[in-house]
Structure 1
Amino acid sequence: MQILKGMNAALIGSAVVAVGVIAAPYYVDLFQIMQLTVFAAMAVLALSLGFIWGYGGILCFGQTSFFGLGAYAYAIAAINFSDSTPAIVMAILIPVIFAALLGYFMIYGGVSDVYLGVITLTVSLILFNMVNSTAGDFYKIGNARLGGFNGIPGIPTFNMPGNPDYILSPEQAWTVTGLALIVVYLGLRVLIASTFGRIIIAIRENETRAALLGYDPRFYKLITFMIGGAIAGFAGALYINWGAFVSPTIFALGLSAQIIIWVIIGGRGTLIGPVIGCLLMQWMVTSIGEQQTLDANFILGAILIVFVLLVPKGIAPTLRDLVLARLPAKKSETAPSNERVKA
């Protein structure tokens, strides 16, 4: 019953947000629409780590590996096919395959959580250096030149499915990205409420007990890792649609750290938390970047320290606990008056 109430609340909230997404272009100027588009794309990326870390218990320091692979896969496919539909499929498929191979050797190889984080971080560094060394005409896939540290410019953006000649406007691209964020969020809510979701949470809480109950923790962890890779790759495609450009900096360690910060600040173990953390921090970075007085990295570091010390659960769980703490108090306040009425 509690799960159904939570899903109903999520559906109602998502419907309200969806209306806001669709209406935004009529009330917000183009510059802000472009900013909102990249914020929403990065929020999808935050959800990918929020899911595998918060619910699967897998701390991946290299989520940018799948994000970057999805972005490059989309860019290469879009240039060669001149159509964004198969490009989006490739942006999801390539990271899933990579996550399956990497996750299999790590998870089935018995790599501990700490070393898993180190390995994924190292993989991001390797991919960054590999892609950074692809300058020159020799490094190309079909018609797409990888470009090395210069990246790939002029990437075809989203078009209407089945009609490559119909290129979506920035306002339409925002609507697609905003609705995609809502769909990913609701999809993960349904997945977590399912039997699979309950199993991965049980494995996170006590892996030995779950194994004794007949579940293979390695299999469920691998599937969780792959789902996170697919979402991150999809986020990469959404991000490319915003700027029509990709470079090796998409694999940078700085972005990997930011994703972890988003989840910590928003609240690990929730889905809305990473979204809140991402949107809040992205807005702050953008606002700080408009002036030269304060350093953005210094401010972000200070905020992270404050949250770790004072709000260790994150924004979403803390607000939830405050609301739940108020409910019994209200009941207890009304109890004496009711008793007096009866008397």
Structure 2
Amino acid sequence: MKPPDDQAPLILIADDEPMIRLQLRRAMEQEGYRVAEAKNGEECLAAYLQFHPDIVLLDAIMPSMDGFTCCHQLQQLSTAQPVPVLMITGLEDKQSVDRAFAVGAVDYVTKPIHWAVLLQRVRRLIHQSHLYEQLALANQELQCLANLDGLTGVANRRRFDEYLNKEWRRLTREQRPLSLILCDIDFFKSYNDAYGHQAGDLCLQQVARTIAQTVKRPSDLVCRYGGEEFVVILPCTDAAGASHIAQEIQSQLRSLQLLHNQSSVDAFVTLSLGIATTIPDFQLSPKDLIRTADQALYAAKAGGRNRIEMLPVIVKD
């Protein structure tokens, strides 16, 4: 017998016959699996929520809640990849087999149990389940990479568009404020010309890191908007809150003292920032918020750079 360890796959056995449960437990434990038991459908659902097993061995015919109903409800409880359910049944007619697959079972064996077949199918289903989990994790990592700017590590323009639209819809329903801060590195072309593109890339990374470290709430999002521009999405933040964050970004960047001898406003790298705040509604769109933040940024640059400007969002006729 292989002793189960804490990392071994967990098998949930649901059967109303004590002798069948005992035989299944012994067979699974001999293979080194951990085992949990349920004697009916209700206990099976509760045990699934408590233990999150790797696979469920489910008797089709049980009192109160049969295996078909239980299997269907197990699929509803699964938040991600549904748990593999192997149905164990004395029914061999086509209708019962079709019904088992229709409610979400991925395989079945018939009674009396052919133990070698059962063990082989359990191994295969656990292996498949782990492969699906690895694939899901890999897809999540790819999705994260697809949403990041490769140079600075903050969110990219694609992620900005998705998140802004999502938060716009949510805050339209909740009637709560949404703010944008559009940030532009002052005289960045001159910086690149003077220090070289590698130094320019490093400057972009340091500015992005400074903004990201200043904007701390999980709901806020820092994005590279393009070139030397960054944008901060601030859900549930009014104009005063956005202004405070913008001032803090400037202060934190100033403390780095990144030399910029081609700047005509300071000896160090600085930012111009434009702020727009609104309570989203159906008369406006995210483009109105972006347009206003862009106008505020233009005003900050026209006013001498290294400053913060804020404008109200106005509905265009």
Q: Give the structure-2-normalised TM-score.
A: 0.24
Computing the radius of gyration from Cα coordinates, the structure with the larger value is: 2
| Higher RCO structure, 1 or 2 (CA under 8 Å, sep 6+) | 1
Q: Give the structure-1-normalised TM-score.
A: 0.23
Q: Which has more helix, going by share of residues?
A: 1
